C-alpha cells in the first residue's frame, strides 16, 4: 500500500518565524511531489510542486526533496497568520497514469 | 479565469434519491478526478478520467458513477445515495502528464448531506 505520512499537528509557530512541515512517502517510485494549502471548509490550493532532489524556492516557500530518504518538506519563511491552514503533501509517479497519493495533512497555526 | 466549477455547492437530500454533482473545467485539461474528504481520512479518490470516454475507479468507487462525454465535463452520479456518502466532494483537473505528473486544480467543493 503506497502511503504518504504527515504529522497531523497542530504545529504552532509565532508570526515571523519559519514553519517547517514534513512528509515521508513509502513508494520509492514516486517522482512528483506537491504541497497544497487548505483553509477550513475550502478547496486545496497548490503551493509548490517539485520533481528533482534538492530545494525549490518560490517567494516565502521552499520545498525540499530527498528521494534517498523518501522525505519531502515545506518551509514557510516569515510566517503570517494568513498561513494558518492545513497543508497537504502529495506524491505520485512519473506520469498521470500514476495515482496521486495524498497525506492526511498537517494543521499549521501562526500565532500573532 | 481558469477554473474548475462544481454544482451544487451544498445539498441536503434523502436516502435513495438520485443526484448528480456537475463538474466543468475551462482549461482544456485531459485528466479529471473526483475525491471525497472526510475527517481523519483525508482525500480519497472516487473515480478519474484520462480523457473523453476513458474513466476508471479510484479507491472508493462503490455507490458512484461517472461519465466523460465531453472533455470539459465530468459529472458524479449517486444513483441511490446513502448516509455514508455524506461528505465533502472535490472535483479536480490537470493536464495529462506524459513525462511528469501534473498539479491538479480543485473546484470549490460540494458538501453533501444524505439523511
Q: Which residue of B has its CA nearest to A98?
A: B101
Residues 25-44 of B with CB under 8 A from A: 30-31, 40-43
User: Which of these, A90, A6, A80, A85, lies nearest to A42 by C-alpha position?
Assistant: A85
Q: Is the predicted pLDDT of residue A1 greater than 80, yes or no?
A: no
List, for residues B77-111, the tens digit of each pLDDT value: 999 999 999 999 999 999 988 878 889 999 999 99
> Which chain B residues are closer than 8 Å to A99 by Cβ?
45, 48, 58
List, for residues A58-79, the tens digit of each pLDDT value: 999 999 999 999 999 999 999 9
Pairing of strands A19-25, A45-50: unpaired
Q: Is the predicted pLDDT of residue A97 greater than 90, yes or no?
A: no
Cell of B92: 479536480
Amino acid at each position: 500500500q503506497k502511503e504518504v505520512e504527515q504529522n497531523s499537528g497542530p504545529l504552532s509557530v509565532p508570526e515571523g518565524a519559519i514553519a517547517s512541515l514534513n512528509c515521508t512517502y513509502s513508494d520509492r517510485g514516486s517522482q512528483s511531489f506537491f504541497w497544497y494549502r487548505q483553509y477550513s471548509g475550502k478547496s486545496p490550493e497548490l503551493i509548490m510542486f517539485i520533481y528533482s532532489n534538492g530545494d525549490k524556492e518560490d517567494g516565502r516557500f521552499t520545498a525540499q526533496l530527498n528521494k534517498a530518504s523518501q522525505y519531502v518538506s515545506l518551509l514557510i519563511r516569515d510566517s503570517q497568520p494568513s498561513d494558518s491552514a492545513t497543508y497537504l503533501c502529495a506524491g505520485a509517479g512519473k506520469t498521470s497514469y500514476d495515482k496521486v497519493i495524498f497525506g492526511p495533512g498537517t494543521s499549521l497555526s501562526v500565532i500573532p | 479565469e481558469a477554473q474548475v466549477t462544481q454544482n451544487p455547492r451544498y445539498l441536503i437530500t434523502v436516502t435513495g434519491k438520485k443526484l448528480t454533482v456537475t463538474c466543468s473545467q475551462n482549461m482544456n485539461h485531459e485528466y479529471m478526478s473526483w475525491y471525497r474528504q472526510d475527517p481523519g481520512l483525508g482525500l480519497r479518490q472516487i473515480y478519474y478520467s484520462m480523457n473523453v470516454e476513458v474513466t476508471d475507479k479510484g479507491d472508493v468507487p462503490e455507490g458512484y458513477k461517472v461519465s466523460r462525454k465531453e472533455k470539459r465535463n465530468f459529472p458524479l452520479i449517486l444513483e441511490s445515495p446513502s448516509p455514508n456518502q455524506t461528505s465533502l466532494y472535490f472535483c479536480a483537473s490537470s493536464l495529462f502528464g506524459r513525462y511528469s505528473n501534473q498539479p491538479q486544480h480543485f473546484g470549490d467543493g460540494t458538501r453533501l448531506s444524505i439523511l
